[in-house]
Structure 1
Amino acid sequence: MKVLVLGSGVIGVTSAWYLAKAGHEVTVIDRQPSVANETSFANAGQISPGYSAPWAAPGIPVKAMKWLMQELAPLKINVKDIDTETLVWMTKLVANCNTKDYHLNKSRMMRVAEYSRDCLKALRQEINIEYDHRTLGTLQVFRTQGQVHSAKKDIQVLTECGVDHKVLTAEDCLTYEPALHHSIDKIVGGIHLPNDETGDCHKFVTELAKACEKLGVTFIMDTSIDKLTKQGNDITSVSTSKGEFTADAYLMALGSYSTHMLGDIGIKVPVYPIKGYSLTLPIEDYSAAPQSTVMDETYKVAITRLGDRIRVGGTAEITAYNLALLEKRRKNIEFSIADLFPYAGDLAKAEFWTGLRPMTPDGTPILGKTKIDNLFLNTGHGTLGWTMSLGSAKYVSDIISSKTPDIDGSGLSIARYA
């Protein structure tokens, strides 16, 4: 079967890999000159099933109001970019901010994320792929006793889902991240998730794309995707800057840009672009650098070791599709690395980046079938695209191939919004 994959980020390329492995004739189309050139380019670098949790949680609306009043805060809203689409999405998110929905959504996300990590391990056994990866886990650090108390709900879900974790004192944290001794007085405790991993997503996708080409996958780059043409209950073609493309099946993997294209053919997906920022800086003192990923719970900033570099990712900005690289948003992520690992890297040499995370109001990605027979979705992964990528791709590939997926698909499709 001919399958056309729209998008060459980590979601599109991992999908192409599994579809090609299943024996399909796969073509990937993207507007960028190379793969993983947008949201997958400089993300936080963490593969964190244990940290998979929806934004929509009890107490978040109140916290969000407080954050908006702070200079250094994990959430910012650009009021001038707020429109009806933004308000509708925010309303849906707030509706999920209750204990029942939080536990349901988190369990769905962790189901995909845990499976995805297993798929990644299997892939590494199958092919030799290097992407500055480490398997030393995630350390979530708390700066206040209030955060320790609030974490009890997450710990309960981790226990229910069988996710390995260890609750730590401040001194215990040094066992996993010795360089925190420079800032140990600012930490009151933490949680270690030993099965989480790290790695450079851009490097991974670039190498996997080469492996895909060996399987016969065709990549058509520098090609804008203009619209889907629908007749009856099928997609008949995709219009692009290089003409019309046809296939037997079509997979939407355009992240935040899936929403409007799908809306044009009558499919409404609540996927909204949440802008994020990152810094990538060279390590100056290896003894003062993190070993894996440290999640600063106060500022929602991930500090990740990638070979001889440190990737610092964070800040959620609600600003529609505005991709302006704002220097004032740099303060939040810069403060976290400077405060916790003051001697690790050279901030003066840091590369500053921004990208759009495709977020659903309940945190769970939208995977699988649509009401159109030959159109399938793999989108809406939010901040966890790298974490959920391989599991989502394998699941969707199995659906397209009419195989029974390895995991329960309950609550993963667009049908949950009906």
Structure 2
Amino acid sequence: MNNTHRQIAVIGGGLSGICSAYFLAAKGYEVAVIERRAHAAEEATFGNSGLLAPGAAMPLTLPGAFATFAGRFQEEPRVLLASGADFKRNRWMRQTRQAQQQRFAANKLRLTRLSAYGQELTRQLQEHYAMEHENSSGVFHLFRTPLEAARMASLQEGAQQCEVKHKTLDTAEIRLLEPAFSSEAALAGALYYPDDIAGNCVLFAKQMRNAAQELGVSFHFSSTVKSIQPEFGGRVALELESPHLDSRLTTDGVVLAAGMQTAELLRPLDTPLPMRALQSYSALVPVKNPDDAPNMALFDDSYKVAMTRLGNRIRITGLLGFMPPSQAIPPKALRNLLKIAGDYYPNAANYNQAHFWSSTIPILPNGMPLFGPTRHGNVFVNVGHGVTGWAAAVGSARVLADMVAGEKSAVDTEGFLPQDLAA
């Protein structure tokens, strides 16, 4: 994008959109964020696990779903599936399995580098703005089956190449670091990342909104973008429904960080994105026995579930479902989240007092974030970070701002660009 064009609209007021707006404003752009909800960070960001963890960062492919299809784990499915035939879903899941089999190691390495960059940026921002946080250090990455544990070698290789500290542990060694960990939990393997962090992603996103406003970013809530129309002369027109904006807004460029709405807005521009909407389920439970509660976070690779300690609460996040959005959480999701938490910390919390919610997240077949310019040079995307993508979202927002400004970025963008989807 030409550096003389200075006005940018960012669609989406979650973590990706807020951070994109912040880094663009820091480079001197005039930025407006347009969000359909009444407040910031109310959709996918609200369902973030809280892991700020380059070591545990994983392409979000769903091999466990195929075991569910095959009849295993029916009572405790790895991925919840809506009943009935869905041929588009099945074809999409074959693509994600292919990505996991063929490109997992390379994508893991790319994602770790991006996440390490994002983690360092987050630390700098928290320090610079004296942000409140609920950070804890140390993340356990746990594998329940030998098949899943077989990937540990490639994970360790990626961590070593990215200079991420890590160590393999058995259950006894985990208990030395985390005495509350249950010895009843059967594991096929475990990795420990001492420098990985967990915290409150929503709190960070809201404080980043304040930081962006200090740089001049304007936020427009309860406002929906109906369409994007590239115009002659390199401008972009947005058709809006908003209580406080005109129905048509013309700008020099636009960043789409709007979850599944990103794909809907790009479809008329002949720029399809092969994203699927997944439901992510979360629970927040009060700590009952502090001595039996974790001090460090964990990520259960089998169920794609993270547990993070936030003061006197424990957050359990990440069980995924190809299910329609609903106010009613599927009973299996409720049972599974608490069952997984109880496997590791049975006496930590009042699990019968859990507060549940679900969030819709977009995911690509390769399980990777997607950011950069589309075939329309002044229309950019920044989506697909997933429930464990806090660090990657911050990193990609900074790299995207570099791209918009025509500057060299600190991270190699191969594998993250829209043009790479066909590769």
**Fold match by TM threshold 0.5:** yes
Question: Does the aligned pair in 1 maintain the 2:35–2:221 contact within 8 Å?
Answer: yes
- Residue 313 (1) aligns with residue 337 (2): no
- Residue 7 (1) aligns with residue 8 (2): no
- Residue 413 (1) aligns with residue 390 (2): no
The equivalent of 2:397 in structure 1 is: 393
Alignment partners' CA distance in 1, 2:47 and 2:292: 22
Q: What SS does structure 2 have at the residue aligned with 1:264?
A: helix
Deviation for aligned residue 1:269? 1.2
Alignment partners' CA distance in 1, 2:363 and 2:21: 22
Question: Does the aligned pair in 1 maintain the 2:34–2:220 contact within 8 Å?
Answer: yes
Question: Does the aligned pair in 2 maintain the 1:11–1:385 contact within 8 Å?
Answer: no
Alignment partners' CA distance in 1, 2:386 and 2:185: 33
Deviation for aligned residue 1:202? 1.1
Alignment partners' CA distance in 2, 1:119 and 1:67: 44
Alignment partners' CA distance in 1, 2:159 and 2:70: 27
Deviation for aligned residue 1:298? 3.8
Q: Please show how residues 4-403 of structure 1 align to structure 2 within 5 Å.
A: 4-56=9-61, 62-66=66-70, 69-80=73-84, 82=86, 84=88, 86-99=89-102, 101-134=103-136, 136-144=137-145, 147-180=148-181, 182-184=182-184, 186-187=186-187, 189-231=189-231, 234=234, 236-242=236-242, 243-319=247-323, 324-403=328-407
Question: CA distance change for structure 1 residues 66 and 173 in 2, over 3 Å: closer, same or farther?
Answer: farther
Question: CA distance change for structure 1 residues 7 and 350 in 2, over 3 Å: closer, same or farther?
Answer: same
What amino acid maps onto 1:191 in structure 2? L
Question: Does the aligned pair in 1 maintain the 2:230–2:237 contact within 8 Å?
Answer: yes
Deviation for aligned residue 1:239? 1.3
Q: What SS does structure 1 have at the residue aligned with 2:251?
A: coil
What amino acid maps onto 2:152 in structure 1? A
Question: CA distance change for structure 1 residues 233 and 192 in 2, over 3 Å: closer, same or farther?
Answer: farther
Deviation for aligned residue 1:149? 4.1
Deviation for aligned residue 1:139? 0.7
Q: In the comparison of the two structures, how many residue pairs are matched?
A: 413
Q: What SS does structure 2 have at the residue aligned with 1:317?
A: strand
Deviation for aligned residue 1:189? 4.6
Deviation for aligned residue 1:413? 0.7
Alignment partners' CA distance in 2, 1:67 and 1:261: 37
Question: Does the aligned pair in 1 maintain the 2:304–2:318 contact within 8 Å?
Answer: yes
Question: CA distance change for structure 1 residues 123 and 276 in 2, over 3 Å: closer, same or farther?
Answer: same
What amino acid maps onto 1:27 in structure 2? A
CA deviation map 1:41-69 (0-9, x unaligned): 13211112111222448x66754534764
Alignment partners' CA distance in 2, 1:263 and 1:338: 43
Q: TM-score, normalised by structure 2?
A: 0.91
Deviation for aligned residue 1:113? 1.1
Question: CA distance change for structure 1 residues 159 and 344 in 2, over 3 Å: closer, same or farther?
Answer: same
Q: What SS does structure 2 have at the residue aligned with 1:196?
A: strand
CA deviation map 1:285-334 (0-9, x unaligned): 21111112112334332111112210001211113656653233111111
CA deviation map 1:134-193 (0-9, x unaligned): 2x121123445555444333223333443211001211101322211x435644652101
Question: Does the aligned pair in 2 maintain the 1:234–1:372 contact within 8 Å?
Answer: no
The equivalent of 2:3 in structure 1 is: none
CA deviation map 1:27-50 (0-9, x unaligned): 101111110001111321111211
Alignment partners' CA distance in 1, 2:156 and 2:25: 39
Moved more, 226-235 or 281-290: 226-235
Question: CA distance change for structure 1 residues 146 and 410 in 2, over 3 Å: closer, same or farther?
Answer: closer
Question: Does the aligned pair in 2 maintain the 1:234–1:375 contact within 8 Å?
Answer: no
Q: TM-score, normalised by structure 1?
A: 0.92
Q: What SS does structure 1 have at the residue aligned with 2:134?
A: coil
Query: Percentage identity across aligned positions?
Result: 27
What amino acid maps onto 1:22 in structure 2? K
Compare the two structures and name the one with the higher helix fraction: 1
Q: What SS does structure 2 have at the residue aligned with 1:295?
A: strand
Q: What SS does structure 2 have at the residue aligned with 1:382?
A: coil
Deviation for aligned residue 1:234? 4.6
Deviation for aligned residue 1:380? 1.6
Deviation for aligned residue 1:205? 0.9
Moved more, 229-238 or 17-26: 229-238
Alignment partners' CA distance in 2, 1:386 and 1:123: 14
Alignment partners' CA distance in 1, 2:121 and 2:85: 39
Give 5+ residue unaligned stretches, structure 1. Answer: none
Alignment partners' CA distance in 1, 2:151 and 2:261: 34
Q: Deviating runs (4+, > 6 A) in structure 1?
A: none
Alignment partners' CA distance in 1, 2:300 and 2:336: 11
Alignment partners' CA distance in 1, 2:202 and 2:287: 19
Question: CA distance change for structure 1 residues 162 and 323 in 2, over 3 Å: closer, same or farther?
Answer: farther
